[in-house]
């Protein structure tokens, strides 16, 4: 039996027996990704409606058969299981999303957090465009956002773990990585301000506040939160001038992992909005 590895976070890529495999069909990649995320067996009729909704029934079934043949030919028959007109990805197939979520559910040690974060190579199915599949595009948008938020949550947890150990350089590196994905995360700006201040880099800490203030004014037309302003005042007042082994009570508040029911609710609302306004 051959081994398959499916990398879907970032640019999609596939391996069979540790060798890269080309899969050039967008619908084939989309089908594999949907089955991987769903985990449970999916009815063929549902997959037809998801990916070939704008095709007549007979051509749609033919397209699905051809897509399944292409997947099995490229990655082997073992990559898909078929039963009672349902399709699923068998558990022996390694999928980066599954490993990413498994690690995210473990105890938030630095090692576990770093291992999970390393799997996030970019947006889910980065660059993939699937024609004439509006339901799939809505699902893809929601799934990209879900995984991106989980990635940011893990980065926030890692900042907190480094902060608890007083490893301020690691706090800076991790917080900057989080801001590279979303520069409106005010807790990450506060983490940078505190880390620079504790390292004796007061000017850099204050520059970080100025950068946040400019970003918020430009993007949202608001001022930094009162706790961020209080942190700035504390830095100016010299509260961090003396080295401290214990973190002060200004830790960034990290968002909780988004509940799946909330994500599903948002997906349904987005789908209904498109139907009403189409």
Q: How many domains does the chain have?
A: 2
- pLDDT at position 52 is 95
Q: What is the mean pLDDT of the chain?
A: 89
Are residues 110 and 183 located together in one domain of the fold?
Answer: no
Which pLDDT tens digit goes with each residue over 65-96?
999 999 999 999 999 999 989 999 999 999 99
Chosen domain end from 69, 100, 132: 132
Asked if residue 256 has pLDDT above 60, the reply is: no
Query: Do 35 and 94 fall into the same domain?
Result: yes
pLDDT of 253 reads 42
Q: CATH no. for residue 88?
A: 1.10.10.10
If asked whether residues 120 and 155 sit together in one domain, one would say no
What is the pLDDT confidence band of residue 262, given thresholds at 50, 70 and 90?
Answer: very low
Same domain, 34 and 109: yes
Q: Kindly report the CATH number assigned to the domain that includes residue 244.
A: 1.25.40.10
Tell the residue number behind the tokens 């938020």, with chain if given: 149
Asked if 178 and 121 sit in the same domain, the reply is no
> CA-CA distance, 39 to 36, in Å (whole number)?
5
Q: Which residue segment(s) compose the domain that 278 sits in?
A: 133-278
- Positive/negative CA dihedral, 42, 44, 49, 51: positive
**Are 67 and 137 in the same domain?**
no
Find how far residue 3's CA is from the centre of its chain: 25
Stated pTM of the model: 0.83
116 and 142 together in one domain: no
pLDDT at 14 over 50: yes
**In this structure, are 189 and 153 located in the same domain?**
yes
* pLDDT over threshold 50, residue 50: yes
120-164, pLDDT tens digit by residue? Answer: 999 999 999 998 899 999 999 999 999 999 999 999 999 999 999
Asked which of 54-68, 99-113, 205-219, 253-267 is least confident by mean pLDDT, the reply is 253-267
Domain boundary residue among 106, 132, 158? 132
- In this prediction, residue 2 has a pLDDT band, given cuts at 50, 70 and 90, of confident
Strands (E), the chain: 4-7, 13-16, 19-21, 42-43, 81-83, 86-88, 94-95
Q: What is the pLDDT of residue 247?
A: 55
Statement to judge: residues 149 and 249 lie in one domain: yes
267 plus 147 within the same structural domain: yes
Give pLDDT, residue 269.
Answer: 43
Arithmetic mean of pLDDT, 248-268 = 42
């Amino acid at each position: 039996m051959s081994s398959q590895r499916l990398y879907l976070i970032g640019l999609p890529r596939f391996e069979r027996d540790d060798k890269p495999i080309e899969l050039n069909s967008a619908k084939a990649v989309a089908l594999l990704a949907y089955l991987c995320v769903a985990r449970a067996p999916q009815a063929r009729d549902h997959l037809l409606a998801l990916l070939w909704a704008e095709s007549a029934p007979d051509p749609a079934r033919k397209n699905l058969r051809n897509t399944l043949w292409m997947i099995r030919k490229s990655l082997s028959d073992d990559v898909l299981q078929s039963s009672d007109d349902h399709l699923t990805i068998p558990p022996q197939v390694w999928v980066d999303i599954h490993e990413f979520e498994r690690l995210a559910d473990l105890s938030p040690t630095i090692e576990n957090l770093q291992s999970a974060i390393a799997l996030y190579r970019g947006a889910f199915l980065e660059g993939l465009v699937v024609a004439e599949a509006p339901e799939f595009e809505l699902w893809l948008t929601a799934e990209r956002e879900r995984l991106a938020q989980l990635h940011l949550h893990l980065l926030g947890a890692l900042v907190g773990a480094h902060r608890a150990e007083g490893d301020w350089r690691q706090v800076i590196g991790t917080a900057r990585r989080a801001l590279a994905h979303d520069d409106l995360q005010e807790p990450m700006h506060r983490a940078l301000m505190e880390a620079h201040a504790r390292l004796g880099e007061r000017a850099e800490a204050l520059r970080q506040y100025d950068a946040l203030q400019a970003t918020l004014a430009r993007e949202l037309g608001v001022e930094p939160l009162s706790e961020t302003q209080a942190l700035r005042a504390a830095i100016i007042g010299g509260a961090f001038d003396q080295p401290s082994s214990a973190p002060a009570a200004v830790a960034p508040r990290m968002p909780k992992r988004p509940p799946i029911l909330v994500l599903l609710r948002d997906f349904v609302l987005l789908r209904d909005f498109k139907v009403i306004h189409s």
